[in-house]
A and B are shown apart, each in its own frame.
Chain A
Amino acid sequence: MNSQLNTVEFTLVVALGSFVAGMLGSLTGLGGGVVIVPLLTLVFGVDIRYAIGASLVSVIATSSGAAAAYLREGYSNMRVGMFLEIATTVGAVSGAFLAGYLHTSIIAIVFGVVLLYSAYASTHTLADPPEGMAPDRIATVLRLDASYPTADGLKFYHVRRVPLGFGLMYVAGVLSGLLGIGSGAVKVLAMDQAMKIPFKVSTTTSNFMIGVTAAASAGIYLRRGYIDPGLAMPVMLGVLAGALVGAKILPGAKVRTLRIVFGVVIAALAVEMILQGVRGKL
C-alpha cells in the first residue's frame, strides 16, 4: 500500500491509524500496542522488525503517560511490581535476543496466537479472588501482602503462588521482547489468576510493569537498529494522542460494545497474521 505514498502522506496515514489504535486500546483497556504490529505489517507492508520497534516505543508512551492517572487511584503494589519486574525484564532481554534469531514468519505466527488469546481474554472479565485466604510463605518473606482502599475501608489481601506468578511473568517478558507488545493479558493472568491479587491492584501494578518491561526490550531494539525514527515518530505521537483522547471520553463510552468490536477486529488480525506467517509472507 505504501508504494504510491510519499513520505509525508505515509507519515500522516500511519499517524491516523495509530491514533485510532491508541484510542481503542485505551477505551478497551487492551492497550494500543496489540494492533500496531498487525496494522503496520498487514496494512502498510512494513517489515515486522521495524513494526515491533515502533510498537515498543508506543507501549512505553501509553504506560508512562497513564501512570499519573493510575497512581492517583492509589492501588498499585510497588513490591509486587518490582519483584515481578525482575522476571519480566530478564524475559524481555531473552525475547529481544530471540527476535534476532527467529525467522520473521515464526514471529508472525506467535504474534497471531498471542493476539487470539488477548482477544479471548478481553471478553472474559475475571472475578476477584475470595477473601480470607491463608498467607503464603514466600509472599510473607518478600513482604508482598498489602491492602488497598475500598468503599468499606482498607481491604487486606494475601499474595499467593509466587513461583507460578514469577514464571508466568517471565513468559510475559519474553513475549513483550519478542513481539513488541505490553503483554498485558499475560500479566493479568499471572497476577489475577495465579497470584490472586485483586483486580484493581493488578491492573494498576501491571501498567507500571508494562513500561519497564518495554523499556528493557526497547534498549536492545534500539541498539540492534530496529527502531526507525521516521516510522516510530508517527506511531508514537499517534498512539499517545489517541490514548489521551480515549481516556477523556472513557466515562461516557459504551465500553462493553467497544470491547466486543475490538475483540473481533483483533481476532481477525490474528488469523491474518498466522496465515501470512504460514505462507512466509511476513
Chain B
Amino acid sequence: MKKGENGGAVVHGGVDDKSVELFLGKLLRWGVLLAALVVFVGGVWFLAESNDVPQNYRTFRGEPADLRAVPQILHEAMVLRPLGLIQFGLLLLIATPVARVLFSVLGFALERDWMYVVLTLLVLGLLVYTLTSGGAS
C-alpha cells in the first residue's frame, strides 16, 4: 500500500473490494501458470512423438471430435494423449476468466447488490453456453 492514505479500497461500499480483487488477481495468475505448465508438458511430449512429416496448417480441416468438446478433451487428457493434454491446458486457460466472473457473482452477492448478481449471472450463463453447446455444427 505505498499509495498512502488513499491507496485503499476503491468505491462502492464493499469494504473488502480491494483484498478480494488482489486475491482474484493471484488466483488468475496461478491459473494461467498451471495452464501453461500443462500445455508445455503436453507440447514437449507431442514434439517428442512427432515425425519428420511437416505439419500442414495451410489447409483447414478442423479438429477431430475428441479435441473439440469438453467431456472428450477431459477423457483424452485422462488417458494421457499429448494433444489431449495440450487441449486440456487450453481449457484450463479459458476457464480463468470464467472463474473470475464466477467470483464476481459471489462478490456482488456479498454486497447484496442483486441487480449486478443477475447481470453477472447473465454473462456467466453465456460463457457456459459457448463452452457446452455453442457453435456445434
Contacts and interface: CB of A to CB of B under 8 A. Distances in A.
Instruction: Indicate, yes or no, whether A interacts with B.
Output: yes
B7 A74 contact: yes
Given A214-B97, A228-B57, A8 B50 contact: yes
Given A211-B100, A233-B46, A78 B127 contact: no
B24 interface: yes
Interface in B1-16: 3, 6-12
Interface in A146-164: 146-150, 153-154
A212 B123 contact: yes
Enumerate the 7 nearest inter-chain pairs by beta-carbon distance, A residue then B residue, closest first: A219-B130, A68-B25, A225-B62, A220-B135, A229-B86, A225-B63, A71-B25
B106 interface: no
Interface residues of B, number: 76
A26 interface: no
A71 B22 contact: yes
Contact of B36 (A2, A61, A72, A77): A61
Contacts, number: 244
Contact of A229 (B7, B28, B87, B97): B87
A226 to B, nearest CB: 7
Contact of A67 (B25, B39, B108, B120): B25
A146 B11 CA distance: 6
Contact of B57 (A148, A231, A237): A231
Interface residues of A, number: 80
B86 A223 contact: no
A186 interface: no
B134 A60 contact: no
Interface string A193-232: 0000000000000001001101111111111111111111
A225 B73 CA distance: 12
Interface string B56-69: 11111011100111
A226 B18 contact: no
Nearest to A222: B68
